[in-house]
Amino acid sequence: MECPHLSSSVCIAPDSAKFPNGSPSSWCCSVCRSNKSPWVCLTCSSVHCGSYRCDDFVVNDTKLGLVQKVREHLQNLENSAFTADRHRKRKLLENSSLNSKLLKVNGSTTAICATGLRNLGNTCFMNAILQSLSNIEQFCCYFKELPAVELRNGKTAGRRTYHTRSQGENNVSLVEEFRKTLCALWQGSQTAFSPESLFYVVWKIMPNFRGYQQQDAHEFMRYLLDHLHLELQGGFNGISRSSILQENSTLSASNKCCINGASTVVTAIFGGILQNEVNCLICGTESRKFDPFLDLSLDIPSQFRNKRSKNQENGPTCSLRDCLRSFTDLEELDETELYMCHKCKKKQKSTKKFWIQKLPKVLCLHLKRFHWTAYLRNKVDTYVEFPLRGLDMKCYLLEPENSGPENCLYDLAAVVVHHGSGVGSGHYTAYATHEGRWFHFNDSTVTLTDEDTVLKAKAYILFYVERQAKAGSDKL
């Protein structure tokens, strides 16, 4: 922020102090008029924000570089304290963590190797997605096997740093911090891991997620996958990620879905293709369009919206099949969605239908639980029944005869759940299966759970993995 008193006073975030003159939520940045994450100078009361137009985080320095000197001094103090505290905590955890992660399975004692993720301030939306992705084996293993990249060297190597605009965008890598986070999970060496380095990179490259407000887990997942895909396409530190992908024949051989350019592990695993078919109701002209996708967003049919629990008696239970059928059924577009017919030379009434032209290796299904009304975003709290095994997608394919029976069956790998009433509030947790056991991930707490508990959850995002080997014949 540009403030004449920067060298002699302090600028703070309004959320970090109490103000006698009412809430600062109505304050606007004097440059871009934004009221998101405002900052105020305690000397002159200038109000600014942390957007790209105004600046990254805090951070125009003085001519003598006083702010940078303060940062370096704080960083040295923090790293010294962090190192001493880490050694002290390690000794305490050597005894306590082992005892706390023991449980009884079939009469014998075993250890939980799962690691939680610390909440950094309403970051449960990020933690739930990270835990889910870490339990998609093929996707997780790819990143864990990437070579480590040292982005910093010299005195700052291995230390935490304060990211500022002066460091530039080239000093952060989402792929690298994502890799480090995945490597820290499932090692069993700690009860919880702090993803602060990854969160700093998220702030750096995804401005929508700056601050400590609650965010939409599905929106974060899409941004995360999109940015991972873009960074992998370009490669970094002299290593071409696409070349690594091509060396993995399992991922590249059957992949035909490319989003925004060349294929990466993101599109190879999550990428599918939809056929969008539109028919003019006046002249019968048919238009076909192929759209790549990383996930499918499904409406919950309105006739089921009053049933909020699995055991509630009023009315039939909504199933995942009902949501999929609603997505792929023939639909007549309303007056606000008139189709521009090239034969009629004007907008006409039409019908629309989706077919799945290519199924992905991991099918991500997002249930649209949040809907905008005139003034706010409401949550659809309907219980949706979903299968743990044998989700059959063959009837939704454009050419089902060209797919083998096993290629259309999916087994559940992870579920993200939103607890609460609104998208800007509440709490996110995740269920995921690892080596045949189900776990519940609630930020830093990880507990063993069972299939019945998972099936009772009000799913928000479901991750299904394509079945490879022949198993039972149970289907949805």
Instruction: Say if residue 278 is exposed, middle or buried (CB neighbours under 10 Å; 0-12, 13-18, 19+).
Output: middle
Tokens encoding 408: 């259309």
Instruction: Say if residue 13 is exposed, middle or buried (CB neighbours under 10 Å; 0-12, 13-18, 19+).
Output: middle
How far apart are alpha carbons 388 and 374 in whole angstroms?
A: 37
How far apart are alpha carbons 26 and 311 in whole angstroms?
A: 45
Please report, for residues 60, 91, 188, the alpha-carbon distance to residue 96 in angstroms, rounded to integers and kept in the order given.
45, 9, 13
Q: How many residues does the chain have?
A: 476
Q: Please compute, for residue 103, the number of CA atoms within 13 A of its CA located in the half-sphere on the CB side.
A: 11
The residues annotated with a catalytic role in the active site are: 124, 427
Which residues contact residue 366 at a Cβ distance below 8 angstroms, ignoring those fewer than 6 apart?
218, 295, 296, 297, 298, 460, 461
Tokens encoding 272: 């599918």
Q: Is-contact 470 414, C-beta < 8 A?
A: no
Give every strand in the sheet of 350-358, ordered side by side: 286-293, 272-280, 350-358, 331-332
In 3D space, the residue among 346, 332, 308, 282 whose CA is nearest the CA of residue 458 turns out to be: 308
